[in-house]
Copies of this chain bind each other. A is one copy, B any other.
Amino acid sequence: MKNQQEFFIKMAIAAWSLQIDRASKLFDSLTDTQLQKQVSENRNTGVYLLGHLTAIHDEMLPLLGVGEKMYPALGEVFVKNPDKSNLDKPLPHQLRMYWKEINSTLLLKLNAIDTNEWFDRHAAVTEEDFRIDPQRSKLNILLIRTSHIAYHIGQVVLLKK
């Protein structure tokens, strides 16, 4: 039975990795110039979406209780503020580096989380709220964030010729 639980966790991590790999290949296939374009008229640029996904994944480290954010400044630029803020953005080659670094660190940490721990509450939910809604677990964060990558890949892919 324990085996089947571990199996499910592995499946969820595999689904996550699949999206990360697709996103990585997609970002690698785009030049910096392509990445600086908007995915559609008046919409986010590829650079913003790369920064946004990177920042959200960085925030997963404390959310899952496996570490501190590696690049805490990203959240201000790519989560709390829109693309058209006047905030300075890191250059594409820096963002590409952060993307790789954060995701490889995160994947190592995901693989090290104990099976039972995945069913614990994540850091943004209180003990009381978790009693009311026990689905707000670490595992749920992983499932939701997996869809989140897919959502934005669907947009970034529009930058391809």
A interface residues, Cβ below 8 angstroms from B: 1-2, 4-5, 7-8, 10-12, 14-15, 18-19, 39-40, 43, 119, 134-135, 137, 139-140, 143-144, 146-155, 158
Contacts and interface: CB of A to CB of B under 8 A. Distances in A.
A140 B154 CA distance: 20
A30 to B, nearest CB: 15
A135 B39 contact: no
In terms of DSSP, what is the predominant structure of the interface of chain A? helix
B154 A40 contact: no
B150 A15 contact: no
Nearest to A44: B158
Copies in the complex: 2
Contacts of A4: 5, 119
Contacts of A144: 15, 18
A14 B139 CA distance: 12
A37 B153 CA distance: 20
Contact of A151 (B8, B134, B135, B150): B150
- Among the interface residues A7, A137, A148, which one has the most CB atoms of the partner chain B within 10 A? A7
A119 B7 contact: yes
Contact of A146 (B2, B7, B147): B147
Given A5-B5, A119-B4, A15 B147 contact: yes
